[in-house]
Each structure stands twice: as structure tokens, then as C-alpha cells.
Amino acid sequence: EHNLDTAEESGKLRLLEELEDTWLPYLTPKDDEFYQQWQLKYPKLILREASSVSEELHKEVQEAFLTLHKHGCLFRDLVRIQGKDLLTPVSRILIGNPGCTYKYLNTRLFTVPWPVKGSNIKYPEAEIAAACETFLKLNDYLQIETIQALEELAAKEKANEDAVPLCMSADFPRVGMGSSYDGQDEVDIKSRAAYNVTLLNFMDPQKMPYLKEEPYFGMGKMAVSWHHDENLVDRSAVAVYSYSCEGPEEESDDDSHFEGRDPDIWHVGFKISWDIETPGLAIPLHQGDCYFMLDDLNATHQHCVLAGSQPRFSSTHRVAECSTGTLDYILQRCQLALQNVRDDVDNGDVSLKSFEPAVEFEWLRQFWFQGNRYRKCTDWWCQPMAQLEALWKKMEGVVKEMEFHHVGQAGLQLLTSASSSWAQVIRPPQPPEKLGLQATMPAYLFLFLQRQVLAMLTRLVLNSWP
């Protein structure tokens, strides 16, 4: 991750050097070439207008946002960017499959579990339970929409057609996969839309006067800087539901006085990574709009969130790559590491020594550092993290035993070597009789002195152990 940060920073500096004091061009819907450029350079970016979503779902989702905000469930995260610890301007909460975690900018977030079938989740308030259930419902809806969008994209690519449905309203005709797709295509598409978490975001720009200016295009204030979403399954999609709380829902008819985007309206910005030739896009987000980043768009392009004037929520649904980031995984690894040590100390030594601090710093410290934020929504993580801490303490004890064992081995070697040297010092090099001399020291006295020296050396070595 450090190398990735360094590469990103060097790319940014090169780009800024090339730009000097000029802005790169970008387009908004009022520009004639906006939709043509979108179609040619950003074909895997799809927008679903609010009118394509049912009023009932809009109402439930927007009430769920406000409920979680009212109960103080969203928090600013302390993240590490280019070696600096910073608080995010955006407040967040992760909701998703029980036991999943999601890591971004060196911070591990733990899901507030949504009530999947067969789970028994306890929430402190009925309103919070209803909100989590609503985001699971939204997740199911966006998954269906994503699969449909991926099918349409695949159908167009297979037919070698350039036109891809970019901006879709409620009456847009569906394409579908048709009969030319086999089962593997369908499985692959579904897996890339199998959202297991959503990261909820909230920001009130009026309370954040120090927001950064967008550095390349002059797009204005940024709520979230240019980035790729990280730690996702390769080529998986991202779906975002946007909700601006109040204020102007449409740009005014007379917006020609703006150069570029309307600063009162929230936008999402897109650009091709480190490309200074292709114009960027600034897409306005109205209340209830959804956008989708399909296939490899997240890898080849960067996006940012451009602040409007009103508070805004968003729900960003992802296929988090958590093969090593679930509760089940980390508990099983701890138990396996301890079992390996019991079976064969030498085999388990190296892996346990590296794994034990990883559990401490990647899991326990991350969880406890975030304090009681999760208790506002659920106590689901408390017992499992206590279990993980108990396993970690066992591993820590085993590691100390191993270190003591190795020190003991080293001490024994030192004792053997030292006693041999001291014996040579006090033992005559040859029996006195062979030298034709009378014995200068009785044998019993020689043995007594030798044992005293060995005892003294033993005490010295033992006292040097931790």
C-alpha cells in the first residue's frame, strides 16, 4: 500500500508539472460533446435517473439515512494518506454481511450486519434495525440493476456496437443477455455484482469550509479527492445511490453564467487515470440518482465527489475482497497457528511470530481504537472480538515461550563453551606425573574448584535470561 501511495503521488506530481498553470478541459451536460465523449471514453459508466427507482424505495432509503444520522451512527475516520494521519471530511458507516470487514487507506471498518436470511442480529433500537433492513433491500435492488447493466454492456460488446445505454430513465428499453450466453457468462456477471457491503457517507459542506479545490480541471470544492476504490474483487462493479437532503433539485434554466459545473449541485467527476488528452466529466447528481461503475472502470479511471451546497448522503455498494478479512477467516487462522505450534514447534515458529502482531495491529487495535461506535448500532462484534483477543493472548504467550526456549538454547551453548574454556585454564595441560613433577594440587581439590566455577557460570547465564 505504501508503494501504491508513492506511485499515485509521483503520478500526480508529474501531471501537475505538465499542466503548469493551465486547467485540463472537462465537460458537463450543457456541453454539446458531453454525451458523445461519455459514450466514447466512459462507456462503462452508467447513470440511472431517480425516476427509474420506485417512490416507495426512495422514501424508505432516505428515511433510513436520516435515522442513522439521528442516532449518531456515522463517524469521521482516521486514515493514513502519504504517511499522515488525517480525519476524513466525510462521516461513514459500513453495513453488510455479518463478519465482513472492509479496509481503505489503512483503516479497517467492521460491518454493522444487515439482517440476511438465517441471521439473528440484535440492534439497540427498532429504527436502526429497520434502517439496516432497508439498505439490504436497496442492495438487492442495485444488484439486479447492475446485472442488467452488465448484460446490456456485454450484449453491445458482443455485437460490436458502439452505442451503450449511458443515461437511463424509467422508460428505457431493456436489452438482456438473450440466448447467446452460456451459464458461465451468467455466473461471472452475477459474481461481479454480488455486493457484500455498502459504505454509507454523509457530509454537510456548510460545516466543512476547508474543502480542497480540485487540482486538475478547476472543478471546484471536493468532498472526496480523486481515487480508485480499493480492496474490491477484480473487475467487480460499484453501485452508488445519491441523496441530497434539500435545496435545488435541478439546475436553473439560466445557468449559462457558470463556467463549468454549478457549484450548488453535487457532482461526481471522472477522468482517465493520468491522461491529459481526454476531457474529464462532471455529472450532476440529483436526489435519488444512481450511478454504476462497471467491469474495469474503477481500475482504469479515477473518480472524485464534487461538493454542492446542501448536505448529502450516499450508499456505495461494493464487492469487497474480504477473503482474508472476515471474522471466520481470522479466527480459523488463529486456531490453526496454535495447533501447528502444538504439533511441531519448529514448523509453527516463523508463521506464528509474524501472524501474532498482524492480529494485534490489523484487527484488535483497529477495532478497539474505533471505540464504542459499533455499540450505537449493534453489539454483534463484542463477543467475537473478545474471543479473538483471548486467542491472541495465547499466541503471545506461545511466542514468549519460544523466545525463552531459544534464549535457553543459546545460554546452554554459551555455558558449554565457557565451562570448557575455564576447565582448560584451571586444569594442567598434562598430568604432573608425565612432567616428572609432584602433583601440585590434590585431585579432589581440582574437581571441587571445577564444579564451583561451573556453578558460578550457570548462575550468570540464568540471571541473564528475561
Stretch among 46-50, 240-244, 395-399, 426-430 having the lowest mean pLDDT: 426-430
Task: Find out whether 203 and 84 touch, Cβ atoms under 8 Å.
Answer: no
Task: Find out whether 61 and 135 touch, Cβ atoms under 8 Å.
Answer: yes
149 versus 430: which is more confidently predicted? 149
pLDDT at 11: 64
Can you tell me the mean pLDDT for 345-365? 78
Can you tell me the mean pLDDT for 29-46? 96
Stretch among 254-263, 269-278, 327-336 having the lowest mean pLDDT: 254-263
Can you tell me the mean pLDDT for 362-385? 90
pLDDT at 179: 41
pLDDT at 441: 54
155 versus 427: which is more confidently predicted? 155
Can you tell me the mean pLDDT for 350-368? 88
Render pLDDT for 67-126 as a digit per residue (tens, 0 to 9): 999 999 999 998 888 788 888 999 999 999 999 999 998 899 999 999 999 888 999 999
Can you tell me the mean pLDDT for 331-359? 77
CA distances from 264 to 124, 261, 288, 358, 465 (A): 37, 9, 17, 45, 68
pLDDT at 325: 95
Stretch among 194-198, 240-244, 250-254, 255-259 having the lowest mean pLDDT: 250-254
Residue 42 has pLDDT above 50, yes or no: yes
Residue 357 has pLDDT above 50, yes or no: yes
Residue 180 has pLDDT above 70, yes or no: no
Residue 298 has pLDDT above 60, yes or no: yes
Share of the chain above pLDDT 70, in %: 72
- Name the burial class of residue 227, with classes exposed (0-12), middle (13-18) and buried (19+) by CB atoms within 10 angstroms of its CB: middle
pLDDT at 446: 59
CA dihedral 367, 231, 91, 7 (to 10 degrees): 110
Of the pLDDT bands very low, low, confident and very high (cuts 50, 70, 90), residue 348 is very low
Q: Domains in the chain, please, with CATH?
A: 1-157+191-246+261-318 (2.60.120.590), 326-414 (1.20.58.1470)
Cα separation, 454 vs 460, whole angstroms: 10
Residue 463 has pLDDT above 80, yes or no: no
CA distances from 461 to 404, 417, 424 (A): 13, 12, 20
Can you tell me the mean pLDDT for 124-145? 98
pLDDT at 255: 52
Residue 240 has pLDDT above 80, yes or no: yes
Residue 333 has pLDDT above 70, yes or no: yes
pLDDT at 419: 54
Distance of CA 187 to the CA centre of its chain: 25
Residue 147 has pLDDT above 70, yes or no: yes
User: Which range among 133-142, 257-266, 416-425 has the greatest average pLDDT?
Assistant: 133-142
Count of other CB atoms within 10 angstroms of residue 118:
6
Helix, strand or coil for residue 281? Answer: strand
Can you tell me the mean pLDDT for 31-45? 96
pLDDT at 265: 96
Task: Find out whether 109 and 94 touch, Cβ atoms under 8 Å.
Answer: yes
Render pLDDT for 432-453 as a digit per residue (tens, 0 to 9): 455 444 445 555 565 666 666 6
Q: Which three cell numbers stand for residue 203?
A: 457530509
- Name the burial class of residue 210, with classes exposed (0-12), middle (13-18) and buried (19+) by CB atoms within 10 angstroms of its CB: exposed
Can you tell me the mean pLDDT for 327-336? 94
Residue 249 has pLDDT above 80, yes or no: no
Half-sphere exposure of 114 (CA within 13 A, CB side): 24
Q: What are the E-state strand segments in 179-300?
A: 197-203, 222-227, 238-244, 267-272, 280-284, 290-293
Count of other CB atoms within 10 angstroms of residue 181:
16
Residue 459 has pLDDT above 80, yes or no: no
Of the pLDDT bands very low, low, confident and very high (cuts 50, 70, 90), residue 127 is very high
Task: Find out whether 268 and 291 touch, Cβ atoms under 8 Å.
Answer: yes
Sign of torsion over alpha carbons 102, 236, 193, 149: positive
Of the pLDDT bands very low, low, confident and very high (cuts 50, 70, 90), residue 401 is confident
pLDDT at 21: 74
Residue 366 has pLDDT above 50, yes or no: yes
The whole-chain average pLDDT of the chain stands at 83
pLDDT at 1: 44
